[in-house]
Structure 1
Amino acid sequence: MRRALETLVTGILRSRLGVALALAVVVLGVVGAARLVSGISGDDPGLSGAPVEPIATVDPTTGNDGVLATEAPPTPRTSPGAPAPEEVARKFATAWLAHDGVPAEQWFDRLRPFSTAGLAERLSGVDPAGVPADRLTGKLEIVTRSEELVEVNVPVDAGTLRLELVAPQGRWLVDAVDWERG
């Protein structure tokens, strides 16, 4: 026995191959002992104790917060007898474009019935000569944001007139005017 241990220590464990084999036996022994102690066999797929159903990260009763809308946009609400938002937008745009040779006060008086008080205040004193377009060139594009907010894109000869209409009491009025050169 002593001779066998001597040969083992002096012969085999002094070589790189012998050390590698000894380490492999130790590692396999540790892994085998761990498997025996933990009781897990190699036949079970997946993690132990994993849920059977998918994990929900959002309450399923909350609304859709996705980028693509699945519901139809709301219908603009108009009081009985009041004009629809597209009609108000067309009348405002027509009055806005009728600026050649018209005094500022007369031009403003044509816009006032279709404007909110805030917009009328901002338009007061504006020189109509600065209006960069002269005529409508296509169909109005209406984008409904809510029952009381609508955006209307009006194509004109020099670009697009963008109008924002609000209807807090069901009567549509232009609240903001923007311009995009075409």
Structure 2
Amino acid sequence: MNRALRIIFSRYGIIVIILILVLGVIALANRRQDTPLDGTNGVDSSEGAATTEGLTEDDGFATEECEGDGCFTDEELPEDAVDQAVEFAESWLNPDGFGAQGWHDSIEPYLTIDAAESMEGVDPATVPAEEIVGEATAEGMKVGVPLDTGTLTLTMVEGSNPWTENGWLVSAIDWEQS
């Protein structure tokens, strides 16, 4: 026992302990970078452009089911709901090059309160597309907007938020890469 303690507390033992701690921290940091919700979504902020890495799996967001009076489950959405979804998609693409707060302010009027809160702090550089390339289509409560790199699917609900009186709002956002 005495010999083991002398080895552990010798300079070589201390070096081995420090090395194990450093390797453990590096392994944890690498594991953190591999998680899908690490805040960067595969974007290297030094490059300023979104990558498509990590965007092939379903992120699980647009799973909200419609409940209550505003549901049109068997009917198509009215044209004004589809128009509102397209307007949101145009702002979501960030054509004006806003920073995070300016971008959030531009999309906030189209979102439900919960959706707006979930988009707080999102970097617009993570938007994986640049332009709308086709006509939006409605299916149930969802509107699919074809973009240059995939399809933006927006779940629409009728309601209001602090920025918009009664109208159609985006309650969930889903992205499917093509």
TM bracket, shorter-chain basis = 0.5 to 0.7
Local SS of the residue matching 1:101: coil
How much identity, in percent, do the aligned residues show? Answer: 39
Local SS of the residue matching 1:171: strand
Paired amino acid for 2:145: V
Local SS of the residue matching 2:114: helix
Local SS of the residue matching 1:111: helix
Structure 2 match to 1:176? 172
Residues 1:107 and 2:103 are matched in the alignment: yes
Residues 1:142 and 2:138 are matched in the alignment: yes
Local SS of the residue matching 1:160: strand
Q: How many residues align?
A: 101
Residues 1:151 and 2:142 are matched in the alignment: yes
Residues 1:161 and 2:115 are matched in the alignment: no
1:1-182 aligned at under 5 Å gives the runs 73-74=74-75, 76=77, 84-98=80-94, 101-144=97-140, 150-168=141-159, 171-182=167-178
Local SS of the residue matching 2:143: strand
After superposition, the Cα gap between the structure-2 partners of 1:130 and 1:100, relative to the gap in structure 1 and judged at 3 Å, is farther
Does the CA-based 8 Å contact 1:99-1:129 persist in structure 2?
no
Deviation at residue 99 of structure 1 after TM alignment: 5.4
Q: Distance in 1 between matches of 2:106 and 2:170?
A: 13
Moved over 6 A (4+): none
Structure 1 gap ranges (5+): 1-71, 78-82, 145-149
- TM normalised by structure 1 equals 0.51
Structure 2 match to 1:10? none
Deviation at residue 171 of structure 1 after TM alignment: 1.6
Deviation at residue 73 of structure 1 after TM alignment: 3.6
Does the CA-based 8 Å contact 2:77-2:139 persist in structure 1?
no
Q: Kindly name which structure, 1 or 2, has the bigger radius of gyration based on alpha carbons.
A: 1
Structure 2 gap ranges (5+): 1-72, 161-165
| Larger relative contact order (CA 8 Å, sep ≥ 6) | 2
